[in-house]
């Protein structure tokens, strides 16, 4: 994420993440949280459209109290918009991992 004066960050909704990349864990975990962060490099700031607290509430919190098996899956992708016509570019780069 280095090299950009501004970054636009967004988290995928859990239902969208599940629809795009189904996950099955056996045995079923007592707690499961999946987090997918998308970011885009910006040349100038944009108006915020939410709060960190609202995003955290939407994404979920991994609570391990009494859980014998907890699964946290995280991933992310840089959003790269196509350049002006004839300039090429576009696409996305992804990263991720799983832990439990």
pLDDT digits (tens, 9 = 90+) for 32-83: 888 899 999 988 888 777 777 777 777 666 667 777 888 889 999 999 988 7
How far apart CA 34 and CA 70 sit, in angstroms, is 11
**Which has more confidence, 31 or 19?**
19
Would you state the pLDDT for residue 89? 47
User: How much is the average pLDDT of 2-23?
Assistant: 86
Can you tell me whether residue 41 is helix, strand or coil? strand
Residue 30: other Cβ atoms inside 10 A: 14
Instruction: Tokens for 29, please give them.
Output: 């975990």
What is the model's pLDDT at position 85? 56
Measuring CA to CA, which residue among 46, 68, 44, 72 is closest to residue 60? 72
Task: Report pLDDT for 20.
Answer: 92
């Amino acid at each position: 994420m280095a090299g950009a004066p501004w970054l636009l960050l967004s988290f995928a909704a859990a239902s969208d993440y599940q629809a795009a990349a189904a996950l099955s864990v056996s045995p079923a975990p007592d707690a499961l949280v999946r987090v997918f962060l998308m970011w885009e490099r910006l040349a100038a700031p944009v108006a915020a459209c939410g709060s960190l607290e609202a995003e955290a509430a939407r994404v979920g919190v991994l609570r391990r109290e009494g859980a014998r098996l907890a699964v946290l899956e995280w991933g992310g992708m840089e959003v790269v918009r196509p350049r002006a016509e004839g300039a090429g570019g576009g696409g996305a780069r992804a990263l991720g991992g799983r832990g439990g």
